[in-house]
Amino acid sequence: MTSSTRGRRGSYSVGIARRQKIVEAAAHRFAEEGYHRTALTRIAEDVGITEGGLLHHFPSKKHLLLAVMEHRFTAEAQWWAHLKDDADGRTVLRAMVAATERHLAEPGLIELFVLTSAEAADPAGAAHALFAERYQRAVEALAGQLRGAMERGTPREGTDCAAVARECIAVSDGLQLQWVISGGTLDLAGAVRTHADRIARTVLPDGLGL
């Protein structure tokens, strides 16, 4: 390996690490201060670079927004992956409520999610592919956890786990929109808990709620 090859690989690794630091700093700022109230210069300062250096990695604030949303989706998937393999149906539904409580700990990221999801409706928009992949993976993952629980007796045999997963995710996302529109006055966790409780009473063999 030549010194120039090692240099290129070293520079690439440094670039990847710096990009990750920018995304993490932006996620923190957006969560604390909101997207519109956060200046790129503040994020650059947090990372220890100039605004020009930040724009080298992300040509615009919107590019950075999409990277932050991708970071959020990855973190969310990793959190769900820690759910025990032998979790029953009630535990899976309770995890929906716990996931909502995690979101509420970073309210700025809920606003970002709602903001970006509106743009995802445009097939030509940059957010479309990101959200399409997110929904496919989220539904498949949640449905898989419910199917595993069904093999152990919960939910009831014959439950359409994919339909339940899709409904739970749709309700969660819709309530996040209502939470933003209400200025945070909606009891988001309570509303998700009410829905999960109703699903539990419908699909669990004992007919009990959460």
The reported pLDDT for the residue numbered 150 is: 93
* 53-66: pLDDT as tens digits: 999 999 999 899 99
Distance between CA 154 and CA 152 in Å, rounded? 6
Mean pLDDT of the chain: 90
Share of the chain above pLDDT 90, in %: 73
- Which tokens go with 31? 């969560």
The reported pLDDT for the residue numbered 129 is: 92
Closest by CA to 74, choosing from 159, 141, 173, is 141
Closest by CA to 171, choosing from 98, 70, 100, is 100
Domain architecture of the chain: domains with CATH: 1-59 (1.10.10.60), 62-210 (1.10.357.10)
What average pLDDT score do residues 17-39 get?
90
Place of tokens 């199917």: 147
Tell me the CB-side half-sphere exposure of residue 193, using CA atoms within 13 A: 8
Q: How confident is the model at residue 68 (pLDDT cuts 50, 70, 90)?
A: very high
The reported pLDDT for the residue numbered 7 is: 47
Helices (H), the chain: 3-33, 40-47, 51-57, 61-81, 89-104, 107-119, 126-151, 161-181, 188-203
> Is residue 4 over pLDDT 70?
no
R_g of the chain computed on alpha carbons: 20
What average pLDDT score do residues 165-172 get?
97
> Is residue 200 over pLDDT 60?
yes
User: Does a cis peptide bond (omega within 30 degrees of 0) precede residue 155?
Assistant: yes
The reported pLDDT for the residue numbered 10 is: 53
> Is residue 197 over pLDDT 90?
yes
Count of Cβ atoms closer than 10 Å to residue 35 Cβ: 20
Distance between CA 136 and CA 38 in Å, rounded? 31
Distance between CA 151 and CA 143 in Å, rounded? 12
Q: How confident is the model at residue 11 (pLDDT cuts 50, 70, 90)?
A: low
What average pLDDT score do residues 11-31 get?
86
The DSSP symbol for 124 reads T
Measure CA of the first residue to CA of the last residue in the chain; give whole Å: 60
The reported pLDDT for the residue numbered 16 is: 86
Distance between CA 87 and CA 204 in Å, rounded? 13
